[in-house]
């Protein structure tokens, strides 16, 4: 697959190079130069999840990796189920949270770990001897990345997260692992963490000495993995009685907009989708833009859906590039809405009245979908995290008790291993060079 740097289109890379580097020069993002539509999508939709996903990924990077290797990597990465569950009238959730860290980010992180493991096992001249994953998280990425890379040989993972802005359980899930995983608790918000990471990637000495790469949703390998579950979502809907030819509306709870980017790429490949719904929390930079305002990022604010507390979504430039910069087309194509914390509470309670337990991110996707759904439409909303992952919030709002799944209860009793980091690029640089 050939990719180009959105910030400097004459700079191109192979998929292998783009995965190793994470972001392109000047902090630009790698974007596929082309995504060719797949011939027989109907046949593809009838295949089992793992085989179909391998076929999809091979259609994109088959020029760089053997199909057998891709199938093996996909099988190892996607070793947990995806399911669809009926919610309220005409809406269905796509449960993406059955992986080891109970959130959809397991898909991207685990596939990326497979790809990097494959690349380091077959290192080429000029490629770094060691790889250091440096990533910022508003909660779920950190857990998914830490678990996916734990004990991957030749790879060290460093995760930055905002102090006091993630749930205590979330913190336990990824800051207690040790071994090749380090976690920095940053005195700042998510945007501060993200900008510390971005700054490090602009520092050539750091990049070279540590073999720095990113596992944020800016890494293209994560997006490829995420394309796959959109196809599974449509396939599962079509397996339901009376929905054999359904073309659903898909609602995506958005923070950094990686998930939506993958959905739009899936549609480019031929996935039948009626339209996409963009759902955000009170950090509504994109809904404001889609409503006709100029693009104007704001500082992020803390909400109940903290994995979406992003003021300046880092994948937005990819979406603009997918539409060739045509703002009018973007505004006409995407339905959107945002929900503040009160709205989240109400949505959770309404769903619970229907016997459906959700967590804040999923509740946003459902609520904005419901607001915009036409009576004859089949709506699919992405359930991006397990309710137990946001247990404190959900228990308080719904006045219920949630049992912890085994993965969380085991982590809850382990000591935190995080180091405190001031919001200072110089200090981060000093610590990273110590590791190198």
State the residues that interact with ligand PLP by CB under 6 A. Answer: 103, 105, 140, 217, 253-259, 307-308, 361, 384-385
- Nearest distance from C-beta of residue 313 to ligand PLP, angstroms: 7
| Coil, helix or strand at residue 132 | strand
- Nearest distance from C-beta of residue 308 to ligand PLP, angstroms: 5
- Nearest distance from C-beta of residue 54 to ligand PLP, angstroms: 23
Strands 275-280 vs 181-186: parallel, antiparallel or unpaired: unpaired
Closest to ligand PLP by CB, 65 vs 104, is: 104
Residue 299, exposed/middle/buried by CB under 10 A (0-12, 13-18, 19+)? Answer: exposed
Residue 423, exposed/middle/buried by CB under 10 A (0-12, 13-18, 19+)? Answer: middle
- Return the ∠ at Cα 8 (arms to 315 and 4), rounded to 5°: 65
- Residue with the closest Cβ to ligand PLP? 140
Closest to ligand PLP by CB, 128 vs 253, is: 253
If one counts every other C-beta atom within 10 angstroms of the C-beta of residue 245, the result is 8
- Nearest distance from C-beta of residue 221 to ligand PLP, angstroms: 14
Closest to ligand PLP by CB, 24 vs 264, is: 264
Closest to ligand PLP by CB, 158 vs 312, is: 312
Closest to ligand PLP by CB, 24 vs 307, is: 307
Q: What is the separation, in whole angstroms, between the first and last Cα of the chain?
A: 31
- Nearest distance from C-beta of residue 194 to ligand PLP, angstroms: 11
If one counts every other C-beta atom within 10 angstroms of the C-beta of residue 163, the result is 17
Q: Which residues contact 167 (CB under 8 A, 6 or more apart)?
A: 139, 306, 389, 390, 391, 392, 393
Closest to ligand PLP by CB, 174 vs 257, is: 257
Q: 28-58 burial, b for 16+ CB within 10 Å, e for fewer?
A: bbbbbeebeebeeeeebbeeebbebbbbbbb
DSSP one-letter string for 277-289: EEEE-S--HHHHH
Tokens in use for 134? 């440096």
Closest to ligand PLP by CB, 388 vs 432, is: 388
- Nearest distance from C-beta of residue 216 to ligand PLP, angstroms: 9
Closest to ligand PLP by CB, 58 vs 280, is: 280
- Cα–Cα distances in Å, from 133 out to 121, 301, 368? 16, 26, 35
Q: How far is Cα 200 from Cα 177, in angstroms, rounded to an integer?
A: 24
- Nearest distance from C-beta of residue 269 to ligand PLP, angstroms: 18
Closest to ligand PLP by CB, 91 vs 120, is: 91
**93 neighbors 84 (Cβ within 8 angstroms):** yes
**155 neighbors 129 (Cβ within 8 angstroms):** no
DSSP one-letter string for 48-96: -HHHHHHHHHHHHHTTTS-HHHHHHHHHHHT-S--EEEE-STTEEEEE-
Closest to ligand PLP by CB, 144 vs 421, is: 144
- Nearest distance from C-beta of residue 307 to ligand PLP, angstroms: 3
- Nearest distance from C-beta of residue 80 to ligand PLP, angstroms: 16
- Nearest distance from C-beta of residue 143 to ligand PLP, angstroms: 9
């Amino acid at each position: 697959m050939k990719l180009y740097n959105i910030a400097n289109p004459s700079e191109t890379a192979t998929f292998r190079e783009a995965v190793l580097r994470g972001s392109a020069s000047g902090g630009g993002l790698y974007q596929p130069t082309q995504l060719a539509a797949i011939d027989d999508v109907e046949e593809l939709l009838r295949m089992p999840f793992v085989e179909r996903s391998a076929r999809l990924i091979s259609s994109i990077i088959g020029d760089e990796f053997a199909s057998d290797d891709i199938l093996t990597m996909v099988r190892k990465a996607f070793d947990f189920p995806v399911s669809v569950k009926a919610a309220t009238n005409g809406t269905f959730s796509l449960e993406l949270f059955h992986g080891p860290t109970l959130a959809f980010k397991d898909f991207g992180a685990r596939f990326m770990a497979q790809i990097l493991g494959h690349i380091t096992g077959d290192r080429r001249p000029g490629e770094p001897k060691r790889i250091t994953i440096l990533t910022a998280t508003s909660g779920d990425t950190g857990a998914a990345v830490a678990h996916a890379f734990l004990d991957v040989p030749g790879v060290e993972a460093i995760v930055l997260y905002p102090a006091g802005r993630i749930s205590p359980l979330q913190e336990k899930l990824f800051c207690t692992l040790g071994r090749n995983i380090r976690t920095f608790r940053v005195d700042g918000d998510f945007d501060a963490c993200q900008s510390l990471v971005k700054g490090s990637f602009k520092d050539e000495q750091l990049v070279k000495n540590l073999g720095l790469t990113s596992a944020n949703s800016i890494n293209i390998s994560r997006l490829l993995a995420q394309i796959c579950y959109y196809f599974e979502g449509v396939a599962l809907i079509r397996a339901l009685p009376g929905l054999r030819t359904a073309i659903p509306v898909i609602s995506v709870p958005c923070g950094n907009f990686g998930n939506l980017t993958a959905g739009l790429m899936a549609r480019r490949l031929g996935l039948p989708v009626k339209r996409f719904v963009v759902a955000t929390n009170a950090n509504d930079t994109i809904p404001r833009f889609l409503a006709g305002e100029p693009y104007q990022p704001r500082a992020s604010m803390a909400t109940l859906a903290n994995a979406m507390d992003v003021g300046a979504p880092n994948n937005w430039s990819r979406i603009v590039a997918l539409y060739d910069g045509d703002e009018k087309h973007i505004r006409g194509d995407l339905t959107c809405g945002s929900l503040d914390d009160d709205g989240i509470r109400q949505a959770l309670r309404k769903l619970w009245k229907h016997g459906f337990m959700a967590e804040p991110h999923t509740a946003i996707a459902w609520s904005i979908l419901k607001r915009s759904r036409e009576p004859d439409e089949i709506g699919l909303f992405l359930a991006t995290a397990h309710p137990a992952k946001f247990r404190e919030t959900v228990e308080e709002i719904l006045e219920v008790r949630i049992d912890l799944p085994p993965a969380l209860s085991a982590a809850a009793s382990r000591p935190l291993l995080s180091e405190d980091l001031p919001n200072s690029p110089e200090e981060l640089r000093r610590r990273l060079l110590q590791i190198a």
